[in-house]
Amino acid sequence: MKACFMGLGYIGLPTAIIAAKHGIDVIGVDINPQVVEMTNQGRLHIVEPGLEAYLQEVVKSGKLKASVKPEVCEAYFMVVPTPFKGNHEPDVTYVEAATRAVLPLLKKGDLFVIESTSPVGTTEMMAKLIFEERPELENEIFIAYCPERVLPGNVIYELVHNDRVIGGINSESTEKAIAFYSQFVQGTLHRTHCRTAEMCKLTENSSRDVQIAFANELSLICDKAGINVWELIQLANKHPRVNILLPGCGVGGHCIAVDPYFITAEFPMESQIIAKAREINNYKAFWCAEKVENAMLKFELEHQRKPVIAMMGLAFKPDIDDLREAPAKYITTKVMQSCNNADILVVEPNVSEHKVFKLTSYTEAYEKADIVVFLVAHKEFKTLPYRDDKVILDFCGIYKK
C-alpha cells in the first residue's frame, strides 16, 4: 500500500509519519520546498513533542519520502489548510488545488480522502470535479471525508487512540477508508455519510466555541457584579450535570476560532447561537485590552507618572509556543499602540525570541511592573506569589481565589 499525503502541516505531517511507522509507504507532498527539504533530512518544521524521533526513524527506513509533487499511489489524502476569506466565507481553494494535483494520477480502485476541515458538501464537490475531468473513474474509485481531532501537543497519542468519524460518498467508499485507517488507528472508526462527517467536525469545534463563549459571558457579568468568576464556575460545576469551561482573554488558534464560520456562512439564519458565540469570544479580547487601557489611565492619574505594564503571555493557549491567531498577541499589540509612552514588558516563557516583540523574562517583568496583566495561564506564572502592591489584571485565572 502506497499513500500520498497532500500537505505536511500540523496535521498532514504527523499523520504521514504515523502511517509510515505502521508500515505504509508514504509520500508526503508540500508546495513549500523548505518543508520538503527539512522533512527529508528528518528535521521537524512544526513543534510537536516526541515527533522528530519518529520522523527520523521513518525517513531512515525509507517509509516516508517528501516531495513537492505527488506520485502514483493507491490512496491520496488532502490535508491542506481551509482558511476563511475577509467576509468569513470558507476558502476551499487549497483543497481544490490539491485535488487537481492528484487528478491525473488517479486510477481504478484508488482511495481519495479529504481530512481538511471543510464546509458541508466539499467532498461531493470534489467528487464532482474528479468525475467531470475523469468520467471513466465514476463508480471506480472510493471517495471519503475523515476529519482529524488531535490536540496539538498530544498528537502522537491522539492520532492513534482517538475515535474517528469516516464518511464516504457511498458505503463502499466508507468501507475502503475504514480499511485504510484501521492500519494505524486503535480508536473506534465510526461509519457515516460524508456530509455528516463534514458537519461533525464543524460541530465539535463550534460546540467548544459556544461553551467558551458562555464562560466568557459569565466573566463579563461577574466583573460588573463584583463576583469572582473562577469561584463561581467551580461552585456551579459541583452540580452533577453542569460542566462550564474557563473564561480567558478570547479564543485563538486555527480551529475553534475559524470552523464555526463555516457553519454561519452557509446557514446564517439558523446558526444564531454559533454566530453570537464567535462575537462574544472576539469581543472578550477587545474588552481585555480596554481594561488594561483604563487601568493605565487610572494609575497615571493617581501616581502622576506612566506605569510599567507587564503583558504576561502571547501564546494562544497555556504551555505551548504557538502564537497563531492568539488573542493575547492582539491585546498586547492594541495596548502598545494606545499607550505609546508607557513602559510595556512583553513576556512569553515558551518562546526565546520574537521578530516584533522584545521579550522579557517573567520574573523580571513581574518584579518591575506596576500593572501585571495575566493573559495566558502558563504554568510558570502560577509560581509567582500574589503581590497586593501591584495592580493585577487576571484574565485567565492565575489567582483563582
To the nearest whole angstrom, how small is the minimum distance from the Cβ of residue 316 to ligand SAJ? 5
Q: Does the footprint of ligand SAJ cover residue 151 (CB under 6 A)? A: yes
Residue 255 appears among annotated catalytic residues: yes
Options 251, 263, 292, 310; binder of ligand SAJ; rule CB under 6 A:
251
Among 21, 201, 317, 329, which one carries the catalytic annotation?
201
Q: Does the footprint of ligand SAJ cover residue 356 (CB under 6 A)? A: no
To the nearest whole angstrom, how small is the minimum distance from the Cβ of residue 130 to ligand SAJ? 25
Residues 164-193 that bind ligand SAJ (CB under 6 A): none
Residue 249 appears among annotated catalytic residues: no
181-199 in b/e form (b: 16+ CB < 10 A) is: beebbeeebebbbbbebbb
Nearer to ligand SAJ, 307 or 313 (CB): 313
The answer for 341, left when phi > 0, alpha when psi is -120 to 50, beta otherwise, is alpha
Which run of H or of E encompasses 293?
Answer: helix 272-303
Q: Does the footprint of ligand SAJ cover residue 255 (CB under 6 A)? A: yes
Distance between CA 128 and CA 203 in Å, rounded? 25
Distance between CA 62 and CA 357 in Å, rounded? 41
To the nearest whole angstrom, how small is the minimum distance from the Cβ of residue 189 to ligand SAJ? 16
Rg (C-alpha) for the chain, rounded Å, is 24
The closest alpha carbon to 369, from 314, 295, 318, belongs to: 295
Q: Does the footprint of ligand SAJ cover residue 204 (CB under 6 A)? A: yes
> What's the gap between Cα 167 and its chain centre?
22
Nearer to ligand SAJ, 105 or 245 (CB): 245
Options 191, 208, 306, 368; binder of ligand SAJ; rule CB under 6 A:
208
Distance between CA 156 and CA 322 in Å, rounded? 17
Residues 210-229 that bind ligand SAJ (CB under 6 A): 212
Tell me the three state secondary structure of residue 97.
helix
Q: Which parts of 235-307 are beta strand (E)?
A: none
Nearer to ligand SAJ, 10 or 76 (CB): 10
Nearer to ligand SAJ, 14 or 253 (CB): 253
Site string for ligand SAJ, 306-345 (x = CB under 6 A): ----------xx----------------------------
For 108-141, the DSSP string reads: TT-EEEE-S---TTHHHHHHHHHHHH-GGGTTTS
Nearer to ligand SAJ, 150 or 314 (CB): 150
> Which cell numbers in the block locate residue 398?
492565575
Binding site for ligand SAJ (CB under 6 A): 148-152, 204-205, 208, 212, 245-246, 248, 251-253, 255-256, 316-317
Catalytically active residues, by annotation: 201, 255
